[in-house]
Amino acid sequence: MKLEKFLAQLTEAPGVSGYEGQMGDLVGQAFSPYVDEVRKDNLQNLIALKKGSGKNCPSIMLAAHMDEIGLMVLKIEEKGFLRVTSVGGVDERTLLSQEVTVHGKKPIIGIIGAKPPHLQQPDERTKSIKMHDLYVDCGFSEEKIKELVRVGDLITINREFTQLHKSKAAAKAMDDRAGVALILETLKELQYLKHSIDVYGVATVQEEVGTRGAFTSTYGIMPDIGIAIDVGHGHMPGILNKEDTMEMGEGSGIGLGPHVHPKIRKKLTELADELKIAYQIEPSPSPRGTDAYAMQITRSGVPTALISIPLRYMHTSVETLDLEDIKSAARLLANFIARIDHEFVEGLKCF
């Protein structure tokens, strides 16, 4: 499937943390022509295996999370308004006046309403609205909505995948379906390359609530190398320190920080230079934000690296990126995989 089409399909479908079942099915269908096995584990991580040509060969795990942030029904108020809480780090300022789908007994359209400016107190006008003051209005009476919706039902924002100028695109849940798409592109590239190592493409669950799926999937696979693929902050107006962000369209970021094994990073950057693949160095000092954190400290430890796709407006419904950054990083990863041998893997065992 073409990158644009796959990404449109993934980002428009719901898959809030803890409820990635349908998303896993979509990913499994897309991966299956390029891999030898597809399975789901206990927590619904989608695990695809493309076998290497070697015997007793090492393995690499590519992990990108397929869950998205979202909302959950907290309480059904009188007159049928739904109070909500967030699943993952939703920016509450961006929720006002969004159209949403409430995933009840059947999908129901709703909107997020709030008090109009005319009726606000002076101090309310200068403050952003808080999650506990927002509500979803589906138009149903209290009695009717209680037949269709229960506490704990999920809510996602309705947003079509939109292509902007040239290769740029905006959608909800690019974080981290773009990473899942990068794995698919890598698997496609690997069709034309010979690789001796086993390649696990894993679409992980529950990253947005604490890299939970990466912990359990890594435990099950126990790879020799782990590469987390996630989105990183792209540059946009209002960012004071340009160094904190990456430029969209200038290649994906190769992470640099305590959760990145220096020998893997070195090989990735050297290979990118050799193949003239654009990349950026992304300083990544905080260790807990991506699946790399979980992969690195599972069992006796996994040598881990991080690839970051530059993306603007993270955790909004208009997450924007450049598709070329996905394609170039896939080429880099595929070639990296093709060049890994026993010797390189042995070298990683001694930091």
- Does residue 113 belong to the site contacting other proteins (CB under 8 A)? no
- Give least dist CB 151 to other proteins, A: 4
- Give least dist CB 217 to other proteins, A: 8
Binding residue (CB under 8 A) for other proteins from 12, 13, 38, 74: 74
Q: Candidates 17-25, 186-194, 272-280, 307-315 — which segment interacts with other proteins by CB under 8 A?
A: 17-25
Burial of 191 (0-12, 13-18, 19+ CB in 10 A): exposed
- Give least dist CB 20 to other proteins, A: 10
Separation of alpha carbons 225 and 336, rounded Å: 12
Nearer to other proteins, 222 or 239 (CB): 222
Nearer to other proteins, 137 or 247 (CB): 137
For strand 107-113 and strand 99-103, is the pairing parallel, antiparallel, or unpaired? antiparallel
Active-site residue, 282 included = no
Nearer to other proteins, 74 or 129 (CB): 74
Separation of alpha carbons 256 and 304, rounded Å: 11
Q: According to CB under 8 A, which residues from 304 to 343 bind other proteins?
A: none
Place of tokens 């990073």: 265
Separation of alpha carbons 98 and 115, rounded Å: 14
Nearer to other proteins, 204 or 328 (CB): 204
- Give least dist CB 261 to other proteins, A: 23
Binding residue (CB under 8 A) for other proteins from 172, 212, 261, 267: 212
Q: Candidates 156-164, 191-199, 208-216, 257-265 — which segment interacts with other proteins by CB under 8 A?
A: 208-216
Binding residue (CB under 8 A) for other proteins from 7, 60, 87, 334: 87
Nearer to other proteins, 87 or 311 (CB): 87
- Give least dist CB 312 to other proteins, A: 28
Tokens of 332: 């880099």
Q: Name the residue among 348, 350, 335, 309 with its Cα closest to residue 223.
A: 348
Binding residue (CB under 8 A) for other proteins from 27, 30, 34, 45: 45
- What is the pattern of x (binds other proteins, CB under 8 A) and - over residues 126-165? ------x-----------------xxx-------------
CB 131 within 8 A of CB 114: no
Query: In the complex, which residues of this chain contact other proteins (CB under 8 A)?
Result: 17-19, 21, 41-43, 45, 72-76, 83, 85, 87, 132, 150-152, 206, 209, 212-213, 215-217, 219-220
Q: What residues act catalytically?
A: 207
